[in-house]
Chains A and B, each alone.
Chain A
Amino acid sequence: MNLVEVADLSLSSAERTVLSDCSLTLRPGERVGLVGRSGSGKTALAHALLGYTRPGLARVGGTVRIAGHDPFAPGGARRVRGRLAAYVPQDCASALPAEHRVGRVLDRAARRSGVARAHLAAFRRNALEQLGLPPELAHAFPHQISGGQAQRVALASALAAGAELIVLDEPTSGLDPGTTEDLIDLLRTSVGDAAMLVVSHDLDVVDRLTHRRVAMTHGRLADAGDRGATAGLDARLRPSEEMRDAPAAEGKACVLRVEGVRGGPGGRPVLREVDLTLDAGECVAVMGASGAGKTTLARALAGMLEPSGGRLWLNGAPQPWSVVRRPAADRLSVALVDQDSRAALNPRETVGKALERARRAAARGGLTPPPAADLLSAVSLPASAADRRPDELSGGERQRASLARAVAAGPRVLLCDEVTASLDGVTERDVLDMLAALRGERGLAVLLITHSRSVAATADRCLVLADGILGPPATLRLRPDAGTEQAAYGT
């Protein structure tokens, strides 16, 4: 008997069809990749396997069976969710309940699989050890652990639940190359004989983890038994190997300069001595391992976090760190596109209204912002996205909406914190092209924080943040096995 049987499944929201007639089967222990561009309906299908639809979505046709149970029926949902099938979400750090210690999360998963209370402690130790996590982690709250650890905890709780099907939603987005390698090794060794559905836009990751893959385009599933059938998609999703030269900027005016930046959130000395200059039209990439302080630096430059030391100049004039103390005219000149686009956008406001507000702010500052429609098409979003709220967009679409809003306010400096991490190859190129055009036309300076060497290669300069110091890449200490990532991208 097949473990997963999805037949002619259709989902739709009030105004559009999200999935149409999707059929998918997984045998016990089979590993299948689900690929497609962001916003194509991958997560909706993954949720449907557990009988869940996001608010506003409804199943309009078709059936789902997991080991014979219907997860859309209340009785079936009890058998399937967290028991037969476990879901490991894209952003594990925010998906762990903030008030539960890691140990409690694992205990709860173990209880679902029927582990007796007396054996919980031993079971928990085992679960942590299996994923290479220290036993003390059981006492930590989710906000005290790193994103990579949170993902392992989510994986450990999926394994602890004894699931026969593990659904992984974008398991590698936002991880640095070293952590990605570790995760792939971990998934290959520790998942055992559970079946796995890997949702990802990264074909390389999917190929290494799964036996076969299916592709999603605009809510339709192209079930391909062999890889040849999806070759066309391959060509479109893989990042191109030729890297464009960044357009040479006219007039090298220094728009942003910092010296001796020290400190970090809560006074922790994440940054020790950071110096940086950005000229108009220049693009500088900043790389570094998770937790090196890249986001801290971006937040300090944007005026959202006051470092304990260091000085800042914008357009040649010294400025205070805190954005509220900067003069009105200079407040708009630095824009930050946050890594967490869900937190960055107002959940009650449509994308169109958010863009309109940013454009009005730019107009008050004496700038002429491009029309909202142009901004949306520049980040490859359809015009209909303007009427949607952030939670009606996929992770990748939301990230691009956040980018469009930052550009709408007419900044001189754009700080991009992992903006391309959750984008597929085609969209990533579109976004980088848009940034290149803005740099050429308006002399916009761009700071690209990224894990991807291919993205960093599009910048004029690449710097590495390590041990609290920003330096040239010669000091880059990549893990030995990270070379595979380099090969995969053909750089």
Chain B
Amino acid sequence: MIRFGLTRGVTAVAMMLLLSAVLFFSTEALPGDAAGAVAGADATDSERAEIRERLGLDDPAVTRYVTWLGDALTGDLGRSSAAGRPVAEVLASRFGNSVVLVGLAVAAIAVLATVFGLAAGLRAGRLGDRLLSSVTVTLIALPEFLVATGLVVVLAHQAGLFPAVSTFPPGDSSWQHPDMLVLPVTALVLGGLGVATRLVRAAVVGVAGSPAIEQARLNGESGVRLAWSYVLPAAAAPGIQGLAVMAAGLLGGSLVVETLFNYPGVGSELARAVTYRDVAMVQGLGLALAGSALLILFVGDLLAGLLNVRSRPGAWRRAEGGVS
């Protein structure tokens, strides 16, 4: 298990390096650069050249990648060419808000997907399962911006229950404005719930046909106890891995939702940076998002490994006296 954790950790670091390279060189390859954005449309070629030199844009791309990566490791993600502030500072002020938003959504999805997935998986093929499956397919098919817009129209404009825009004074934490979190979190939950429910359902269906569950039924276990004590522990490992994939995907989904609600998170900042051709900002925020996604997947794998009694490290097993 420890070896498994180490292998997965090393893979994640290698993956991170690869992603950082892809991120850096793909933003480099985009037309237009910071010099054009900083100098403005009226600047002469010589002004642009001067700015390019000042920003070090004339060095070979590989040299700049290595410098950028080295700086990033020490916490320096460069300076935003549009706002003039260090990228790390912007990231620090926005990251917490995004973590709150995505964290709340993932927690809600985990609970709902487990309940719905168990309910559908234990009734596989019957009416309840087919109804739930139709609902999840519909949720998957609806684009996130449509769901979010629908929520705004119905709950904010018509019912007036929640604010349509989730902007709050800079420096405030999102915790201080729970009413502003409701719509963005709901939009994210509706976006991720369909996939998560289907992943949990698939894991449950696989377990429900096993000899152990048949025997549990023959022993008179049924209903909630069968689901909670027998099916869920066996389905938990694949379920957790499914949830991790879904959570990593929500980071991307949060970009759309944050932009729509003008929520001060990493996603909306990233969208703005792309608009302004703020290369340093795009690279810095992109790196943070990629790192978070990899971390979530890594933690999901570790949790799944710990949940599997066959691969738990010795300390977790308490007693091995039974082996003979």
Binding site for B on A (CB under 8 A): 47, 50, 52, 54-55, 77-78, 80-83, 86-87, 89, 91, 94-100, 102, 108-109, 112, 134, 136-141, 143-146, 149, 157, 161, 342, 347, 391
Compute the total of residue contacts between A and B using a CB distance below 8 Å. Answer: 97
Which of chain B's residues have a CB closer than 8 A to the CB of A86? Answer: 219
Contact-residue bracket for chain B: 20 to 34
Which of chain B's residues have a CB closer than 8 A to the CB of A143? Answer: 309-310
What distance in Å separates the Cβ of B76 from its nearest Cβ neighbour in chain A? 46
Residues 219-252 (chain B) with a chain A CB within 8 angstroms: 219-222, 229-230, 233-234
Closest to A291 in B: B324
B217: interface (CB < 8 Å): yes
The reply to whether B214 and A139 form a contact with Cβ atoms under 8 Å apart is no
The reply to whether B217 and A52 form a contact with Cβ atoms under 8 Å apart is yes
The reply to whether B234 and A99 form a contact with Cβ atoms under 8 Å apart is yes
B169: interface (CB < 8 Å): no
What distance in Å separates the Cβ of B220 from its nearest Cβ neighbour in chain A? 3
How far apart sit A109 and B215, CA to CA, in the bound complex (Å)? 12
The reply to whether A138 and B220 form a contact with Cβ atoms under 8 Å apart is no
The reply to whether B320 and A140 form a contact with Cβ atoms under 8 Å apart is yes
B319: interface (CB < 8 Å): yes
A96-B212, A97-B233 given as contacts; is B218 within 8 A of A47 (CB)? Answer: yes
A89-B211, A141-B309, A149-B324 given as contacts; is B218 within 8 A of A99 (CB)? Answer: no
The reply to whether B319 and A136 form a contact with Cβ atoms under 8 Å apart is yes
Taking a contact as CB atoms closer than 8 A, the residue among B211, B318, B322, B323 that contacts A94 in the complex is B211
Which of chain B's residues have a CB closer than 8 A to the CB of A80? Answer: 220
A83-B220, A87-B219 given as contacts; is B324 within 8 A of A102 (CB)? Answer: no
Binding site for A on B (CB under 8 A): 209-212, 214-222, 229-230, 233-234, 309-310, 317-324
The reply to whether A55 and B319 form a contact with Cβ atoms under 8 Å apart is no
A50-B218, A134-B324 given as contacts; is B211 within 8 A of A95 (CB)? Answer: yes
What distance in Å separates the Cβ of B127 from its nearest Cβ neighbour in chain A? 16
What distance in Å separates the Cβ of A20 from its nearest Cβ neighbour in chain B? 23
Which of chain B's residues have a CB closer than 8 A to the CB of A144? Answer: 320, 322-323
How far apart sit A89 and B217, CA to CA, in the bound complex (Å)? 12
The reply to whether A102 and B322 form a contact with Cβ atoms under 8 Å apart is yes
The reply to whether B210 and A81 form a contact with Cβ atoms under 8 Å apart is no
How far apart sit A82 and B215, CA to CA, in the bound complex (Å)? 10
Taking a contact as CB atoms closer than 8 A, the residue among A97, A109, A145 that contacts B212 in the complex is A97
A81-B218, A82-B219, A87-B219 given as contacts; is B322 within 8 A of A347 (CB)? Answer: no
Q: What are 21 A-to-B residue pairs whose CB atoms are below 8 Å?
A: A47-B218, A50-B218, A52-B217, A78-B220, A81-B220, A89-B211, A89-B215, A94-B211, A94-B212, A97-B229, A97-B233, A98-B310, A109-B219, A112-B219, A136-B319, A137-B324, A139-B321, A141-B317, A141-B322, A145-B322, A145-B323
Max chain B C-beta neighbours (<10 A), residue from A77, A95, A109, A342? A95
What distance in Å separates the Cβ of A450 from its nearest Cβ neighbour in chain B? 24
The reply to whether A139 and B318 form a contact with Cβ atoms under 8 Å apart is yes
Which of chain A's residues have a CB closer than 8 A to the CB of B212? Answer: 94-98
How far apart sit A89 and B310, CA to CA, in the bound complex (Å)? 22
How far apart sit A98 and B308, CA to CA, in the bound complex (Å)? 9
Taking a contact as CB atoms closer than 8 A, the residue among B215, B220, B234, B321 that contacts A140 in the complex is B321
Closest to A342 in B: B211
The reply to whether A87 and B310 form a contact with Cβ atoms under 8 Å apart is no
The reply to whether A52 and B321 form a contact with Cβ atoms under 8 Å apart is no
The reply to whether B309 and A87 form a contact with Cβ atoms under 8 Å apart is no
How far apart sit A47 and B219, CA to CA, in the bound complex (Å)? 11
How far apart sit A58 and B321, CA to CA, in the bound complex (Å)? 44
Which of chain A's residues have a CB closer than 8 A to the CB of B211? Answer: 89, 91, 94-95, 342
What distance in Å separates the Cβ of B290 from its nearest Cβ neighbour in chain A? 33
How far apart sit A356 and B89, CA to CA, in the bound complex (Å)? 63
Which of chain B's residues have a CB closer than 8 A to the CB of A99? Answer: 233-234, 309
Which of chain A's residues have a CB closer than 8 A to the CB of B219? Answer: 81-82, 86-87, 108-109, 112, 157, 161
How far apart sit A149 and B323, CA to CA, in the bound complex (Å)? 10
Which of chain B's residues have a CB closer than 8 A to the CB of A109? Answer: 219
Closest to B236 in A: A99
The reply to whether A391 and B234 form a contact with Cβ atoms under 8 Å apart is no
How far apart sit A112 and B219, CA to CA, in the bound complex (Å)? 9
How far apart sit A144 and B318, CA to CA, in the bound complex (Å)? 13
Closest to A161 in B: B219
Closest to A86 in B: B219
Max chain B C-beta neighbours (<10 A), residue from A144, A157, A347? A144
Which of chain B's residues have a CB closer than 8 A to the CB of A140? Answer: 319-323
The reply to whether A139 and B217 form a contact with Cβ atoms under 8 Å apart is no
Max chain A C-beta neighbours (<10 A), residue from B216, B219, B221, B230? B219
Closest to A90 in B: B211
How far apart sit A54 and B218, CA to CA, in the bound complex (Å)? 11
A136-B319, A145-B322, A146-B324 given as contacts; is B209 within 8 A of A77 (CB)? Answer: no
Which of chain B's residues have a CB closer than 8 A to the CB of A52? Answer: 214, 217-218
What distance in Å separates the Cβ of A94 from its nearest Cβ neighbour in chain B? 5
Which of chain A's residues have a CB closer than 8 A to the CB of B215? Answer: 87, 89, 95-96
The reply to whether A347 and B310 form a contact with Cβ atoms under 8 Å apart is no
Which of chain A's residues have a CB closer than 8 A to the CB of B230? Answer: 97
Closest to A89 in B: B215
The reply to whether B234 and A98 form a contact with Cβ atoms under 8 Å apart is yes
How far apart sit A55 and B122, CA to CA, in the bound complex (Å)? 12
Closest to A97 in B: B212
How far apart sit A236 and B230, CA to CA, in the bound complex (Å)? 42
Closest to B230 in A: A97
Which of chain B's residues have a CB closer than 8 A to the CB of A55? Answer: 209
Which of chain B's residues have a CB closer than 8 A to the CB of A149? Answer: 324
